Amino acid sequence: MDKKLSPDLQPTAVGFLRYRLLDVRVLRGASNTRQSERNFIETKSHLLLLSNAHGGKLVIDGRLHVLRPGSLFVCAPGQLVELTNFADHPLELLLIYFQAYCLLSDETTVTGVPLQVALPFPCEAAVTSASTAGHLFGAISSSWNNGAPSSLLRCEAGLLELLGLSLDYREQQAELALEASRMELERHYASEITIDSLAKIAGLSRYHFMRLFKERYGRGVMEYRTDLRLKDAKQRMGEPNSASLGEIVFQVGYKSESYFSSLFKKQTGIAPAIYQRNQKRKIAAYSWINFGQILALQTIPFAAPMDHYWTSHYRNKYEYEVKVPLSHQYEFNLSALRTSQPDAIVGIVECVPAEEQDKLRTVAPALFLSWDDDWRNHLSSVGNFLEQEDAAIQWLDRYDRKASSLRERLQPIVGKDSLIVLAVGANQMAIWGHQAGTVFYDDLGFTMPEAIRAFKWIKSVEADELTEINADRIVLHVDQSPAAQARGNNLFQTEAWKKLRAVKNRKIHKTSSSGCYEAPWNEYSADALGRFLNEVPRLFEQ
């Protein structure tokens, strides 16, 4: 469960701990073949994990971590650890199970019961040298398989070496000049702190500092400061006796309330006053699809699953608001929700067994939507359940007006052309069905080929099957993975592709990167389809 293990040990406790190695395992090439497949890693004891490849992701207590060579994790007993590898990238993960004991005051005797608390090592670290990581990975795994007493000692030495490297990582990070400048920004974001002053702290030129800062933290310096200010504003707005919006704007470093409101709405999609009102309610989005249904009502869920690759949009924008990350274990979620006490829960019937639905209803009023219903009814039902019927009606009215306007703009360009969506992935090439393509077919009036009516979501196809459909236009998405790129290049060289009407008439519309093209059912919600509608003009008005 997502809770702090207490009491945690401080870094100074390292000298008073002793370790006992229990088991060593190696995971190679473990991939998730289905979206429903889950690979949980047991943590009955302390667990150290070392990655030796660019592949897979770990979800630890609801937090996502991307695996790279040298990625190092130290987990406490009882932490929820899940391994995901949907992209089928190469995977090498070393699992070292061990126990830790505390040295008593006489410094010669250890306690008889292994510690169950978090140890004084960072949860996530990195072995900065890939060759060192690879050497330790190979030495420990081969020595454990050898089984000789000397080999077992080498394994224990390897465990200590890795624990030491995790502490090295923490100590080195603290000393980095770039981190020092970031901390200065964290302390003084409400003032008019300049990039030049931060660059001086880091001992770098302005240009070099700005480049490194963005590489390290994923955002530019001023964007980072804006996020800090908005996070502070959100916190102040959520206080029981909060100041007026004008006072909060001044407190976080802005001089203009209108400028702040514009920034705030751009980041959250919600005006500050509405945000302040709606976020007083704690709404849990139990299933991933529910996030976009609730968000369309200008309410950000306070509990939701955020570890999927397709939820990165929500994770990047709403990490502050989602206080309770949910997982894929019913027990974990039930415990997290009982502790956090939501005001309401929204889920999907087909994703939650009936007995679990009953348990959730004992926590808070709960609505479970049928996956067979369409996204408009989903939104209306959620609006009624949360007593936000007007917000749902207004959202649908805005969407329909925007779709109608776009349909009129596109009509002179596309006429009555038929259209298919073709998604090329690493494992297959697929076309979208009528429900996946609802924006194109139902809202924008594109002609749907008869073959599309036969299925809802996606259907795997080969090049000759595209010839049978022979649509006037093709919206083409090729995933960025090397395997998908190779599959796409092979397709484009076939005679079947070259003979397609859309290819000969140059009516191929290439998409930008978007998770919905790989798995459209993951984005079947009001908010996601609204964003999709906004992206459509770029495909046809170039």
Answer whether the bond into residue 240 is a cis peptide, omega within 30°: no
Q: What is the C-alpha separation between 403 and 391, in angstroms, rounded? A: 18
Give the pLDDT of residue 91.
84
Give the mean model confidence (pLDDT) for residues 515-522: 76
Q: What is the C-alpha separation between 331 and 337, in angstroms, rounded? A: 10
Q: What is the C-alpha separation between 276 and 262, in angstroms, rounded? A: 15
Per the model's pLDDT, the better-predicted residue between 210 and 85 turns out to be 210
H or E stretch at 446: none
Q: What is the C-alpha separation between 337 and 110, in angstroms, rounded? A: 38
Q: Which domains does the chain have, with CATH numbers?
A: 11-174 (2.60.120.280), 177-276 (1.10.10.60), 281-387 (3.40.50.1980), 410-540 (3.40.50.1980)
- 134-148: b (≥16 Cβ within 10 Å) or e: bebbebbbebbeeee
* Angle of helix 195-202 versus helix 206-217 axis, rounded to 10: 80
Q: What is the C-alpha separation between 383 and 279, in angstroms, rounded? A: 15
- The amino acid that residue 45 corresponds to is S
Residue 520 — very low, low, confident or very high, per pLDDT cuts 50/70/90? Answer: confident
Q: Could you write out the DSSP letters of every residue in 282-343? A: -EEE-STTHHHHHHTTT---SEEE--SGGGHHHHHHHTTT--EEE-S-HHHHHHHHHHH--S
Give the pLDDT of residue 4.
38
CB 521: neighbour CB atoms within 10 A?
16
Residue 18 — very low, low, confident or very high, per pLDDT cuts 50/70/90? Answer: confident
pLDDT at 31 over 60: yes
- The amino acid that residue 160 corresponds to is L
493: CB partners within 8 A, 6+ apart: none
Give the mean model confidence (pLDDT) for residues 123-130: 86
Residue 120 — very low, low, confident or very high, per pLDDT cuts 50/70/90? Answer: confident
CB 22: neighbour CB atoms within 10 A?
14
* Cβ 134 vs Cβ 162: under 8 Å: no
Return the percentage of the chain with pLDDT > 70, whole number: 92
pLDDT at 334 over 90: yes
Give the pLDDT of residue 5.
37
Residue 514 — very low, low, confident or very high, per pLDDT cuts 50/70/90? Answer: low
* Cβ 520 vs Cβ 458: under 8 Å: yes
* Chain segment 150-189, per-residue pLDDT in tens: 999 999 999 999 999 998 887 776 567 888 899 999 999 9
- The owner of tokens 């006429």 is 415
Give the mean model confidence (pLDDT) for residues 512-524: 76
Residue 2 — very low, low, confident or very high, per pLDDT cuts 50/70/90? Answer: very low
* Chain segment 60-84, per-residue pLDDT in tens: 998 999 999 999 999 999 999 999 8
Structure-block tokens of residue 148: 């000789």
* Chain segment 253-304, per-residue pLDDT in tens: 999 999 999 999 998 989 999 998 888 899 999 998 999 999 999 999 999 9
Q: By C-alpha distance, which of 398, 477, 413, 397 is closest to 445? A: 413
pLDDT at 127 over 80: yes
Give the mean model confidence (pLDDT) for residues 494-523: 86
Structure-block tokens of residue 130: 């890939």
Give the pLDDT of residue 62.
87
Give the pLDDT of residue 203.
81
Q: By C-alpha distance, which of 142, 168, 167, 144 is closest to 156? A: 144
pLDDT at 310 over 80: no
30: CB partners within 8 A, 6+ apart: 39, 56, 83, 85, 91, 93
Q: By C-alpha distance, which of 189, 198, 195, 277 is closest to 230? A: 189
Phi, psi of 89 (to 5 degrees): -80, 160
Give the mean model confidence (pLDDT) for residues 447-465: 91
* Chain segment 346-389, per-residue pLDDT in tens: 999 999 999 999 999 999 999 999 999 999 999 999 999 999 99
Q: By C-alpha distance, which of 505, 507, 525 is closest to 515? A: 525
Return the percentage of the chain with pLDDT > 90, whole number: 61
* Chain segment 201-228, per-residue pLDDT in tens: 888 789 888 988 898 888 899 999 999 9
Helix, strand, or coil here: 355?
A: helix
CB 270: neighbour CB atoms within 10 A?
19
- The owner of tokens 């409400």 is 190
Q: What is the C-alpha separation between 309 and 39, in angstroms, rounded? A: 16
Most confident option among 97-101, 131-135, 392-396, 522-526:
392-396
Give the pLDDT of residue 233.
94
* Angle of helix 354-361 versus helix 330-340 axis, rounded to 10: 10
Q: By C-alpha distance, which of 189, 180, 194, 139 is closest to 162? A: 139
* Chain segment 102-112, per-residue pLDDT in tens: 876 555 555 66
Q: Which of the 8 DSSP states describes residue 513?
A: P
* Cβ 210 vs Cβ 195: under 8 Å: yes
Q: What is the C-alpha separation between 105 and 145, in angstroms, rounded? A: 37
Give the mean model confidence (pLDDT) for residues 125-132: 86
Q: Determine the number of helices (DSSP H) and then strands (DSSP E) in the chain.
A: 21, 19
Q: Could you write out the DSSP letters of every residue in 395-436? A: HHHHHHHHHHHHHHHHHHHHTT-BEEEEEE-SS-EEEE-TTT
